[in-house]
A and B are shown apart, each in its own frame.
Chain A
Amino acid sequence: MLGTGILKGLYITAKNLVGSYYSSERLTTIQYPEQRAQLPENYRNFPFLVYDGEDAIDGLRCTACKMCEKECPPQCIYIIPERDEKGKLQKKPKVFDIDISVCMGCGICAEVCPFESIKMDHHFEVAQRNRFAGLLLHREQLAKSNKYYHSIRPKEATAVDESLAEEKRKAEEKAKAAAAAKEAAAKAAAAKAADAAKAKTDDLEEKKN
Chain B
Amino acid sequence: MSLSEPIPGSTIRAVHDDFHGDLLEVSMGPHHPSTHGVFRMIVTLDGEVVVKLKPVFGYLHRNHEKLAENNAYLASIPYTDRLDYLCSLTNNWAYVHAVEKLSGIEVPERAEYLRVILGELTRLINHCCLVGFLLNDLGTSFTPLLYSLRERERMLDMIEALTGSRMMCNFMRFGGLRTDVSSEWLAQLKTYLDTTFARYLDEQDALLTGNEILLARTQGVGVLKSDLAINAGITGPMLRASGINYDIRKVDKYSIYDRFDFRVPLGDHSDTYDRYMMRMLEMHESVKIIQQAIKDIPEGPFIDPKAKNRGLRPKAGEAYARIEGPKGEIGFHLISDGTGNPYRYRVRPPSLINLTVLEDMCLGQTLADTVIILGSVDIVLGEVDR
Contact = CB atoms under 8 A, between A and B. Distances in A.
B78 A104 contact: yes
Contacts of A204: none
- Categorize the interface residue count of chain A: 20 to 34
Taking chain B's interface residues, is the majority helix, strand, or loop, or is none over half, making it mixed? helix
Contacts, number: 73
Contacts of A5: 210-215
Interface of B: 71-72, 74-76, 78-79, 143, 147, 150, 153-154, 157, 160-165, 168, 170, 178, 196, 203, 206-208, 210-215, 310
A107 interface: yes
B71 A16 contact: no
Interface string A1-36: 011111011011100100000000100100000000
Nearest to A4: B210
B382 to A, nearest CB: 14
A13 B203 CA distance: 9
A108 B74 contact: yes
Contact of B212 (A6, A12, A28, A112): A6
Contact of A12 (B72, B206, B214, B215): B206
Contacts of B165: 43-44, 105
B146 to A, nearest CB: 9
Q: Lowest 5 A-B CB distances belong to which pairs?
A: A106-B78, A73-B75, A40-B161, A5-B211, A44-B164
A77 to B, nearest CB: 13
A163 interface: no
A9 B206 contact: yes
B79 A112 contact: no
Contacts of B310: 71, 112
Contacts of A8: 206-207, 210-211
A98 interface: no
A108 B212 contact: no
Contacts of B196: 25
Interface of A: 2-6, 8-9, 11-13, 16, 25, 28, 40-44, 71-73, 104-108, 111-112, 120
A9 B160 contact: no
Given A106-B170, A107-B170, A9 B161 contact: no
B163 A9 contact: no
A31 to B, nearest CB: 16
Given A13-B143, A105-B168, A106-B168, A6 B211 contact: yes
A104 B161 contact: no
Contacts of A112: 310
Contacts of A2: 212
B72 A13 contact: no
A94 to B, nearest CB: 26
Among A16, A28, A72, A106: residue with most chain B CB under 10 A = A106
A112 B308 CA distance: 12
A171 to B, nearest CB: 24
A120 B164 contact: yes
A13 B207 CA distance: 8
Given A5-B210, A71-B75, 14 more contacts: A3-B212, A5-B215, A6-B213, A8-B207, A8-B211, A13-B207, A28-B153, A40-B161, A42-B164, A44-B164, A71-B310, A104-B78, A106-B78, A108-B78
A139 B207 CA distance: 55
B310 to A, nearest CB: 6
B181 to A, nearest CB: 11
B230 to A, nearest CB: 34
A73 B79 contact: yes
A42 B207 contact: no
A140 B154 CA distance: 37
B83 to A, nearest CB: 14
A9 B161 CA distance: 34
B75 A9 contact: no
Contact of A9 (B157, B168, B207): B207
Nearest to A29: B150
B19 to A, nearest CB: 38
A62 to B, nearest CB: 18
A105 B82 CA distance: 12
A42 B168 contact: no
Contacts of B154: 28
